[in-house]
Structure 1
């Protein structure tokens, strides 16, 4: 509700009854704040707020609102010792706007006074306290009109304690702290969600959504919304576990980066520790090669990269960034630009090959001559960790190894077109071994082993 998750009691879970979202009367009372009365003899629920009174009867397909009889999409039901009532009916009769995201099976509630005024809803945006009002949602429940020359927000990611926002035009974000609770708010004016955004991120009917963050102690959730339509503004809110400093990196190269590594235990490039960019090949609408049993290369690549990430998290001498951490499409240009923008020390792209049914083994590709020493070290560990045949280090003009400015390699970890290779590639043992080989190779090349 209004962008905040409701904390439901154990016996107060939301339920889907024949396509209707039902909630216990306890939730109506404790979380939505309405007055509730239960009459056991007639099994009648009376819900009151201000000048509105709703009466619902268990198993009866109609209700009365201020004495007027109205049909229900679903009748209230008695389940064990709890009465469930239809959420949409109750909420809308009380003046709330109700949205439904079928992809995530999520209900969004917006109260009448939420987001009122001029739409920006910001208080104290130059201080340490205030409101991020309107995230998610612009408060109106009305789709934001199309505007010309707006920047498109293509994606949002969070890796290595950094928020990375992909945009398709130059933008000037406004970033500020809020407290009570602690948050970092990023407003991107003259912007909208790109058409591709909803294919990789949850967006509800109010152009809002969120990402739960589980792997980093500093951030609990990232919320985003089409916050205002005058000017058209995308707002992104990082919910924090406590006060955190940050640095803003905006080189107008397609990425806006909010780095929380300023004074945290996570090492940053500014600390002098090497920065590694790990790239999971393909993703999103680009499946990559298809294996003999119809598996997609993009999934294998990401699975190995996530295992590399788990190992890099334990390395205190290295910093790292992933070009993608979920099943999203990132252009080759954006992968190279991210590494260049961060001034990374090395770049590693993970792929799997495809060819004839008899082709088998591993290969390491480079483009620029200065990448040869790195390629040789990485290939040595790839051969050892994979246990597959050595198909050598090879030169090839590939975008991510050509356009990056640091030593860069592309690893082909086996052949998806080979039954024996494929059977091995999708095992946890193989992927863990290759991931360890990737980390060991990076450390040796950087003189950390």
Structure 2
């Protein structure tokens, strides 16, 4: 989802530098909880009479806040675990947890992009900022207590310490003193191993032996000679509780074993010298990529009763995934399995990089209230057999009007290299269709129908 922070960093940035004329003239580095952030190319930042305005998508894609857009009322809402901030295009008043508050500038719409005031959003989301004039850097702290940015504390107390780390013989080794607690997990897109050491900080002598910035409390090094790993990054990730995060950036998914720190002290070893899990689609299995359309700040179509397309898409995709995971001759990969946002090109890239056999994008339709039924789209002529196989089963399962199999110039099926189909299961703008789409029993039937269609097309048992 993890993705909303970037924008807020900018927010802080501009807050710390009110005299800045515009974002393009600003060259300071920005750090979030010790990790440097970079502004994506093509992002337009405006300065309106001293108020810095940034695209709301930047907020949603980098910091981890939830952002939603209601087209009918032109309202953008930013949420974290404790606060809900709603802003309306053209209005200088925002609603914060039900209370009306005035802003210095109203959100604006620029060519379909919503711009919001950085200072206001950052303050409401509880961000803390520290400017280091010597380093020419802004340090943004999204969590913690005491109002200090990462690395600004004196490190006192009973926290354990990371005294050193190295990568050798395809192993990450971390020297720890004290009573540390280690939590090791994996993340994908991109693949990486994440080690969180709680009740832990960097020792005072850590920086003398490592590529470490003592101000930002972060560092990294490139790994060469070991094809599994790109680099290793480390930072003081949180101050409450004190947490050191170490990230091993992988070139591909990799199995590993963890040992050490049985007593909270010693050498933590993450050993990559173990057999990797077989790549999806190997061993004679067919690989299917399931794409739940829209997500996060992109809700898709809004139904008659306010239900969101992105929720239906994900519910259906997860049910299809669970059924496919029971099939011995099929592997399944999801473009998203939570309420996250991916660009269209990212969805196609996942399937292309995996060299999938089939790509299916799940959607719900919208139109006049009288519009009803199921339709399935293909782009390449070679996709048509897949679309027909899926459409036949779905129409029988859901019992809505058969609107046919059609050509459609949709990015995700145009840019994928394998047979693909985009499913419009029903119309959210039609009350009868909407009730069927969100009925769990109907969803189960449609999921089973999609699997039947896939198996028929792939000719697998």
TM normalised by structure 2 equals 0.49
Q: Secondary structure at the match of 2:400?
A: coil
Deviations, residues 187-243 of structure 1 (Å, cap 9, x unaligned): 455x99xxxxxxxxxx9645999xxxxxxxxxxxxx994x4xxxxxx44799x9985
Instruction: Determine which of 295, 309, 314 is the counterpart of 1:302.
Output: 314
Residue 377 of structure 2 corresponds to which residue in structure 1? 365
Gaps of 5+ in 2: 1-81, 83-141, 146-154, 177-193, 203-212, 259-271
Are positions 1:427 and 2:439 aligned together?
yes
1:407-426 pair list within 5 angstroms? 407-426=419-438
Provide the secondary structure at the position in 2 that maps to 1:268. coil
Cα offsets for 1:29-80 (capped at 9, x unmatched): xxxxxxxxxxxxxxxxxxxxxxxxxxxxxxxxxxxxxxxxxxxxxxxxxxxx
In 1, distance between residues paired with 2:274 and 2:286?
A: 14
**Alpha-carbon offset, residue 385 of structure 1:** 1.5
CA apart distance, 1:386: 1.3
* Residue 144 (structure 1) shift: 3.9
Q: TM-score, normalised by structure 1?
A: 0.51
Deviation at 1:428, TM superposition (A): 0.7
1:122 maps onto 2:165 in alignment: yes
Q: CA deviation at 1:422?
A: 0.6
Alignment match, 1:220? none
Structure 2 counterpart SS, 1:433? helix
Relative distance call for 1:331 and 1:127 in structure 2 (3 A) is: closer
Alignment partners' CA distance in 1, 2:426 and 2:244: 39
> Residues 340 and 242 (structure 1 numbering): CA distance in 2 closer, same or farther, change over 3 Å?
closer
C-alpha deviation, 1:129, in angstroms: 7.5
- Please state whether the residue corresponding to 1:382 is helix, strand or coil: helix
Question: Partner residue of 2:298?
Answer: 286
Check whether the contact 1:143–1:206 (CA below 8 A) recurs between aligned residues.
Answer: no
The number of equivalent residue pairs is: 270
Alpha-carbon distance in 2 for matches of 1:224, 1:288: 38
Which has the higher mean CA deviation after the structures are superposed, 129-138 or 332-341? 129-138
Q: Pick the structure with greater CA Rg.
A: 1
- The unaligned stretches of length 5 or more in structure 1 are 1-18, 20-98, 103-109, 151-170, 178-183, 193-202, 210-222, 228-233, 245-258
How big is the shift at 1:260? 13
Separation (CA, whole Å) in 1 of partners of 2:222 and 2:386? 37
CA contact (8 A) 1:262 1:268 kept: no
Q: Provide the alpha-carbon RMSD of the alignment.
A: 4.7
2:454 corresponds to which residue?
442
- Assess, with a 3 A threshold, how the Cα gap between structure 1 residues 262 and 322 changes in structure 2: closer, same or farther: farther
From the superposition, tell whether residues 329 and 402 of structure 1 become closer, same or farther in structure 2 (CA, over 3 Å): same
Q: Trace 1:38-187 onto structure 2 (pairs within 5 A).
A: 114-117=160-163, 121-123=164-166, 125-126=168-169, 130-131=173-174, 135-136=195-196, 139=201, 144=216, 187=231
What is the CA-CA distance between 1:443 and the residue it aligns to?
A: 0.6
Paired with 2:377 and 2:409, the residues of 1 have a C-alpha distance of 9
